[in-house]
Structures are given as C-alpha cells and as structure tokens.
Amino acid sequence: MEAQFSVSITARQYLTYYQGAATHIEVVDDKGRHLQINARYFRPFVTASGIQGRFKLRLDSNGGFIELLRL
C-alpha cells in the first residue's frame, strides 16, 4: 500500500515525540484514510523548524513499514 499526505509539525510539537511522550504521528492521506505512523520514521526529516512537506508512505501487504519518502 502507498499513501501520500502533507505534514506540518513545528519543532516544539515534534519535541513531544522526541521526548517519548507521544509515539505516533496521525495524518490523513490524500484518499481520506487516517494513518498512525511511528514518529521515529520522521526523524530524518526534522529540521530546526520542525517537519513540513509532502510525503509518501509505503507499506507491505501486512501493513509493515517499507519506507517514508519526502516528495
């Protein structure tokens, strides 16, 4: 399965994920599906201003993580 979505999380908001207070980021993809994605997969995309942009999530047939790409 593939899902495309936009994310806009400030650095302050991401701090709760970094500190472990929250573990998943909830997004709504372009098809209206609600997804909970483990916050650790977003770490490569964190900047001083947080995480902003368009992403594509790829999952295997069992719903297991394959990759998260910035578009």
pTM of the full structure: 0.86
Task: Write down the pLDDT at residue 15.
Answer: 82
Task: Please check the confidence at residue 66 and state whether its pLDDT lies above 90.
Answer: yes
DSSP-based three-state secondary structure for 67 = strand
Please report which helix (H) or strand (E) contains residue 13, including its range.
helix 11-18
Full domain range(s) for residue 45 = 2-70
Task: Write down the pLDDT at residue 61.
Answer: 95
pLDDT digits (tens, 9 = 90+) for 2-48: 999 999 999 888 888 777 778 899 999 999 999 999 999 998 999 98
Total domains present in the chain: 1
Which two three-digit tokens encode residue 16? 């709760």
